Structure formats: structure tokens, C-alpha cells
């Protein structure tokens, strides 16, 4: 039976648009509602209690839009507050589990690097999930809070000297540890893949958390007969908690094309 309700996606800011980009590739007929909490970005430097509060508000907002599935397109929420999705009346998909599984499948030497936000790294969730799947693995984690700000500001060109130098500093522990697989554990980070690849080299497998999460969501919908039967292109609606004007330019970078769909400001404190 078809289900034409939209897929709901939320993130602390614009990074979750990388999940939307992958969803559109996989499921072009699906309607999507996206919420970016641009007024409170980043989540990665907040306390666990604050992150939980924000996640619950984001989820309640998406539920008010009649979504059929919610994706926490935020590595921080997935690592710190994934439990908020367990009691939802719709299926919930988070980032960390699927990224961990992909890394374990990809590694050849058992040395796995994790790049994520400060809160995500501090939670230990990536480490615990990887070790559960591969107890003998070595995990090297590094929090990269500046990456989120650089992406939100649009400083993503592979030749941008500020972003490149920042990446070199964050990635040095991964190089020293000779990791062969590197999880881009925040959905902002895949936008910096070219820069990261330039520094790490072609022998390092990058795990795009946005891509594997979108694949997991698509498989769930297919397996549970919840796909839309739209014969045309899906309808996309975007909501933000801060100014809409600054959203357009960076959104086009993350989506890979100009923003296509309605963009609306929302007062998230009402939820």
C-alpha cells in the first residue's frame, strides 16, 4: 500500500540537507519536509540535556506536518539523544548506527577514525557501536566543532586556505594512527569530502554518514510498503528557525543545485 505522506528530516542547521540530497537521488518521487534549527546551531557544543530538549522540539514540529518517518540527520542528536525517537508514533532513523556498520564493513586493517562534533565524541556512542560490531578494532576519534561553522558559512571550497588548514589539524591524528576508514560522523562533513580526501589520500575509505542514513531510510520504506506512488517529482518544503535569507546560498551548495521548494521560518519554541 502506498504512503504519500512526506519524509521528515531535521538537523541543527543546514548539514542535514546532505541527507536530503541523497534521499532525492534514491527516492525522487517522495515528498520531503526538512527542518533546520538555524537559530540554535550548532548542537555539538551543547549539554546532553539541551540536545535532548531540542531534539524533542524538532520531532514534534515534524510530526505536526504529518510525516511518515523521521530522520535525525544530525550526528549529535543520533549520538546523544537517539532515545527521543523510540517513543515516536512513526519510524525513526538515526545516523550513528548506520555509519558504524558501514565503517566495519569497509575497514581492512581494523583502524577506524571518527570525525564528529564535541558532544557526539564525548558521548562515546560511535566507539561503543563500532566495538560491539568489531571488538578488535582500534578507534581514533576527534571532535571537529569548527567544521560545522565553516560549512554553515559556505567556506567549503577545496582550496580555501582556512578550511584546508583547519582540516589538516583535525586529521593529523588519523594520519598518525594509519586509519584506513574514516567516518564523517556529522552530516555537515560530507560537504568537505574533497578537502578531507586530498589530505588523507585515496587509500582511506570515507564513510559518508548522510548517504548510508538515506539508504537505510529508503530500505525501511521499501521493506514496509511505505513508498509514495507519486508518478512525478516529490514536493519539498524547508523550514528554518532563523532568517530565511541566509539559507539559500549555502543550501544550494549542500543540495548540489538551487533550492527547489517552499522555505518558511518557524518559531520552534512553540513545539
CATH number, residue 121: 3.40.50.1860
Mean per-residue pLDDT, 95-103: 96
- The residues with which 262 forms a beta bridge, in sequence order, are 237
235-248 burial, b at 16+ Cβ within 10 Å, e below that, comes to: ebebbbbbeeeebe
Mean per-residue pLDDT, 62-78: 96
Could you tell me if 124 and 80 lie in one domain? no
Question: What is the distance between the alpha carbons of residues 157 and 145, in angstroms, rounded to a whole number?
Answer: 18
Burial class (CB in 10 A: 0-12, 13-18, 19+), 26: middle
Asked if residue 64 has pLDDT above 90, the reply is: yes
74, 95, 121, 218: which one is catalytic? 74
Question: What is the distance between the alpha carbons of residues 215 and 75, in angstroms, rounded to a whole number?
Answer: 16
Q: What pLDDT does 220 receive?
A: 97
Could you tell me if 155 and 241 lie in one domain? no
pLDDT tier at 231 (50, 70, 90 boundaries)?
Answer: confident
Q: What pLDDT does 247 receive?
A: 84
* 156, 176, 209 - which closes a domain: 209
- The residues with which 71 forms a beta bridge, in sequence order, are 9, 93
Residue 111, domain extent: 96-209
Question: What is the distance between the alpha carbons of residues 168 and 171, in angstroms, rounded to a whole number?
Answer: 5
The reply to whether 59 falls in a domain is yes
Q: What pLDDT does 154 receive?
A: 86
Asked if residue 94 has pLDDT above 80, the reply is: yes
Active site residue 161: no
Q: Would residue 225 be called left, alpha or beta, if left means φ above 0 and alpha means ψ between -120 and 50 degrees?
A: left
Q: What pLDDT does 260 receive?
A: 84
pLDDT tier at 123 (50, 70, 90 boundaries)?
Answer: very high
Work out the angle at residue 191's Cα, subtended by the Cα atoms of residues 187 and 196, and round it to the nearest 5 degrees. Answer: 105
pLDDT tier at 249 (50, 70, 90 boundaries)?
Answer: confident
Mean per-residue pLDDT, 214-234: 93
pLDDT tier at 250 (50, 70, 90 boundaries)?
Answer: confident
Mean per-residue pLDDT, 101-117: 97
pLDDT tier at 190 (50, 70, 90 boundaries)?
Answer: very high
Could you tell me if 169 and 126 lie in one domain? yes
Q: What pLDDT does 152 receive?
A: 83
Q: What pLDDT does 254 receive?
A: 85
Could you tell me if 120 and 183 lie in one domain? yes
R_g over Cα of the chain: 18
Mean per-residue pLDDT, 15-24: 94
Which residues make Cβ contacts (< 8 Å) with residue 45, sequence separation at least 6?
117, 118, 119, 145
CB 184 within 8 A of CB 211: no
Asked if residue 147 has pLDDT above 80, the reply is: yes
Active site residue 186: yes
Q: What pLDDT does 199 receive?
A: 97
The reply to whether 180 falls in a domain is yes
Asked if residue 1 has pLDDT above 80, the reply is: no
- For strand 236-240 and strand 205-208, is the pairing parallel, antiparallel, or unpaired? unpaired
What are residue 96's phi and psi, to 5 degrees?
A: -65, -50
Question: Would you say the pTM of this structure is higher than 0.75?
Answer: yes
Q: What pLDDT does 261 receive?
A: 87
Asked if residue 87 has pLDDT above 80, the reply is: yes
Lowest mean pLDDT, pick from 10-19, 128-137, 255-264: 255-264
The reply to whether 2 falls in a domain is no
Work out the angle at residue 183's Cα, subtended by the Cα atoms of residues 180 and 189, and round it to the nearest 5 degrees. Answer: 125
Give me the chain's average pLDDT, please.
94
The reply to whether 22 falls in a domain is yes
Domain count along the chain:
2
186, 195, 216, 251: which one is catalytic? 186
Amino acid at each position: 500500500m502506498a504512503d504519500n505522506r512526506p519524509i521528515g528530516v531535521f538537523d541543527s542547521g543546514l548539514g542535514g540537507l546532505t541527507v536530503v540530497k541523497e534521499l532525492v537521488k534514491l527516492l525522487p518521487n517522495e515528498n520531503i519536509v526538512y527542518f533546520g534549527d538555524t537559530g540554535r546551531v550548532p548542537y555539538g557544543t551543547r549539554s546532553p540535556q539541551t540536545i535532548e530538549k531540542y531534539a524533542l522540539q524538532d520531532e514534534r514540529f515534524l510530526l505536526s506536518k504529518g510525516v511518515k518517518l523521521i530522520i535525525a540527520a544530525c550526528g549529535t542528536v543520533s549520538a546523544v539523544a537517539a532515545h527521543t525517537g523510540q517513543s515516536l508514533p512513526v519510524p525513526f532513523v538515526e545516523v550513528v548506527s548506520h555509519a558504524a556498520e558501514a565503517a566495519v564493513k569497509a575497514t581492512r586493517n581494523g583502524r577506524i577514525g571518527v570525525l564528529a562534533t564535541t558532544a557526539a565524541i564525548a558521548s562515546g556512542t560511535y566507539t561503543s557501536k563500532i566495538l560491539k560490531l568489531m571488538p578488535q578494532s582500534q578507534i581514533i576519534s576527534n571532535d571537529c566543532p569548527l567544521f560545522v561553522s565553516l560549512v554553515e558559512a559556505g567556506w567549503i571550497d577545496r582550496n580555501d586556505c582556512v578550511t584546508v588548514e583547519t582540516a589538516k589539524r583535525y586529521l593529523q591524528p588519523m594520519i598518525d594512527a594509519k586509519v584506513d576508514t574514516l567516518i564523517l560522523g556529522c552530516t555537515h562533513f560530507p560537504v568537505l569530502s574533497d578537502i578531507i580526501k586530498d589530505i588523507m589520500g585515496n587509500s582511506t575509505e570515507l564513510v559518508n554518514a548522510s548517504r548510508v542514513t538515506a539508504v537505510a531510510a529508503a530500505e525501511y520504506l521499501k521493506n514496509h510498503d511505505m513508498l509514495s506512488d507519486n508518478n512525478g517529482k516529490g514536493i519539498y518544503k524547508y523550514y528554518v528557525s532563523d532568517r530565511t535569507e541566509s539559507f539559500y546560498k549555502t543550501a544550494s551548495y549542500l543540495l548540489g543545485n538551487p533550492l527547489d521548494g517552499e522555505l518558511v521560518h518557524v518559531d520552534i519554541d512553540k513545539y
